[in-house]
Structure 1
Amino acid sequence: MSTDFYLLSKPNCPLCNEALAQLHQLQLEEPIRLHWVDISEQPELYEEYALLVPVLVREADDAELRWPFGEQLMEFVTV
């Protein structure tokens, strides 16, 4: 069973692209479902996350992993 994650991002965000690349490089035993969320299309998200993106949100418990992901990324997606 795969878990859903949401990558909060905005247009023209090099760090968001780097975060996506890091996610694709993970060697996972179980797949995850990754949803790309453009916060610029949702004013309430933009207000809260404009200066924080990229942020990875785990749907199961609404936990957030903020940039830079570092070594916590693997643990975050495999919980």
Structure 2
Amino acid sequence: MSDFYLLTKPQCPLCDKALTELHGLTLEQPIRLHWVDITQQPELQDEYALLVPVLVRAKDDAELRWPFNNQLMEFVTA
């Protein structure tokens, strides 16, 4: 099972859309998704405040920034 981190912040409609897209994927192998509130970590807030939602793949720290478009499935299954 692969781990991913969804960088978010409170009251973020785009973050909700990103989560909906992730839940809508039909995957052969499940993923473990961690929800990370960037407002709880100043270094993340500084770096990602205007970029969320961002999906981070744990195995290589690769980032997929919003909008995910048709890249989401490839990113999650890579």
Range of TM-score over shorter length: over 0.9
The residue aligned with 1:58 is 57
Unpaired segments ≥5 residues, structure 2 = none
Cα drift, residue 3 of structure 1: 0.2
Unpaired segments ≥5 residues, structure 1 = none
Distance 1:76 1:27 in 2: 13
Greater than 2 Å deviation, 4+ residue runs: none
Distance 2:46 2:16 in 1: 21
Q: CA RMSD in A?
A: 0.2
The residue aligned with 2:46 is 47
- TM-score for both structures, normalised by structure 1: 0.98
What amino acid maps onto 2:61 in structure 1?
D
- TM-score for both structures, normalised by structure 2: 1.00
The residue aligned with 1:16 is 15
